Amino acid sequence: MSTATTHGHAHDHHDDHHGPAKGLMRWVTTTNHKDIGTLYLVFALVMLFVGGAMALIIRLELFQPGLQFVNPDFFNQMTTMHALIMVFGMIMPAFVGFANWMIPMMIGAPDMALPRLNNWSFWILPFASGILVSTLFMDGGGPAGGWTLYPPLVLQTGNAFPFAIFAVHLLGMSSIMGAINIIVTIMNMRAPGMTLLKMPLFVWTWLITAYLLIGAMPVLAGGVTMLLTDQFFGTSFFSAAGGGDPVLFQHIFWFFGHPEVYIIILPAFGIVSQIIPTFSRKPLFGYDSMVYATASIGFLSYIVWAHHMFTVGMPLAGMMFFMLSTMLIAIPTGVKVFNWLSTMWRGSLTFETPMLFAIGFLFLFTIGGFSGLMLAITPADFQYHDTYFVVAHFHYVLVPGALFGALGGAYYWLPKWTGHMYDETLGKVHFWMSAIFVNVTFFPQHFLGLAGMPRRIPDYATQFADWNMVSSIGAFGFGFAQLLFVYVVIKCVRGGKPATAEVWDNPEGLEWTVPSPAPYHTFDEAPVIK
């Protein structure tokens, strides 16, 4: 790439006359998609540890029965903040960082379509997250109504409440602007010959994710604004005393919340769809069906929201509809899983760190998918609802699902981003520590939930003590294992073995040839055997 494209094409006049901005200002004012992608990824990594620290406070308190370390109010603030930070401050920015870095290169564009909007989308994030975290230091503490912000619970938050709502608004704005940028870039800036059905799968998953974001985030904004007016302006959208209904909030929230979980997982699907063909040395099996499956998941994600609400007293027809439509989502998801397996089938497999994370993703995400099917069965859900079984389910989808997808993508593209090879041995150690501890942490929570342990409680009956202790040990192991990842990244950025253009073509010294160059044959397309 020429320096013109590397440094972005939207310099302002100051840059034109005095060379590129130096030092700190380069990062504050940058319009370059790679710089902004890096900012997103570094920010997400920081927030992983902020949200992770909150999770460890939760697990520390649950290590044994009784109230040991924090008071119940603070415990509830931790569960609420842990979720909001991890979802809006960590996993979504991480995937937007991947999108910024890779989409222009994958479609042959010089940069994102709206570079200044791109800069603003990022810089809203640290301030929004700062406001959110600052609520913990306000009178009465941070929001404690769960990440779902249900009224009337969340309205008892006190002074922190409007700040939390404002932070959620800002985080949503950042997401919406990022999504607009991605759609405009993909639709308008593809290289000649790059038809939609020739785009890498990662680009497709982000195109569909961006539409989900634009559809879902304004619904959340509306819901939290109604909470705000209920609290300060005398409306009663959600107050039964004034003719409102708190269940209305649940409908609004989950109409956002269900597409949101697919917003979180689809980019991970895209990353895994890049990694598996590379290390199988075969093209992705069933490319077109993967695209259509992703689109079906996106469409269906909007008509299943009330499966989060089977216990609110829904009519039978409603319960039947939401049960069956939820089960329908399992079909395109299953198509994707079997296509990934078929890609690996009879491939020339090697197991570098990115491939390990992709295979770990495949196996563990499927466990989360099956427990999701269990939760979709309405009569069974009456038993599972609001127990630790639900916590186990969504953490299997989000941690060895979305987070493993992100970690796999980071290892996969680090050589491309830095020009250096990361330490493969440490990468594999990081994978195995993560894979073992994530299961030690979350698998026992299935048992706890089926035995009847409720979610969001700081204290519990003694029969739940053993598995909680196991879960807490796993959580600390998993948390500290992630420090190794930080070390690997820093070591890679600072130097190491230079990465060649064929960094993933020839891991074992075998003879491979790269396919003939074309606009969309980027470094992550599968090479062909000689």
Catalytic residue annotation: 82, 111, 147, 174-175, 258, 260, 262, 273, 307-308, 333, 336, 455
Contact 264, 210 (CB under 8 A): no
Angle at 428 between CA 501 and CA 334, to 5 degrees: 85
End-to-end CA distance of the chain: 28
Contact 254, 309 (CB under 8 A): yes
Nearest Cα residue to 44 out of 82, 85, 80, 83: 85
* Proportion of the chain in helix, strand, coil states, percent, rounded to 5: 75, 0, 25
Q: What is the CA radius of gyration of the chain?
A: 23
Q: Residue 480 carries which side chain, given as an amino acid letter?
A: F
Alpha helices in 62-156 (DSSP H): 72-84, 92-107, 115-134
Nearest Cα residue to 9 out of 28, 31, 24, 29: 31
Q: For residue 446, which phi and psi values (nearest 5 degrees)?
A: -60, -45
- DSSP category for residue 453: P
Element (H, E) at 41: helix 33-61
d(CA 165, CA 153): 14
Nearest Cα residue to 402 out of 369, 374, 377, 446: 369
Going by C-beta distance under 8 Å and a sequence separation of 6 or more, which residues neighbour residue 143?
77, 80, 81, 84, 135, 149, 154, 157, 160, 161, 164
Contact 77, 145 (CB under 8 A): no
Contact 340, 272 (CB under 8 A): yes
Q: For residue 528, which phi and psi values (nearest 5 degrees)?
A: -110, 145
Exposure of 21 by Cβ count < 10 A (0-12 exposed, 13-18 middle, 19+ buried)? middle
Contacts 24+ apart (CB under 8 A), 482-488: 482/48, 482/49, 482/52, 482/430, 482/434, 484/426, 484/429, 484/430, 484/433, 485/407, 485/410, 485/430, 486/45, 487/426, 488/422, 488/423, 488/426, 488/427, 488/430
CA atoms within 13 A on the CB side of 48: 26
The token pair at 335 is 């198509």
Distances (CA, A) of 476 to 54, 62, 72, 387: 12, 12, 21, 22
What is the sign, positive or negative, of the torsion defined by CA atoms of 489, 494, 495, 501? positive
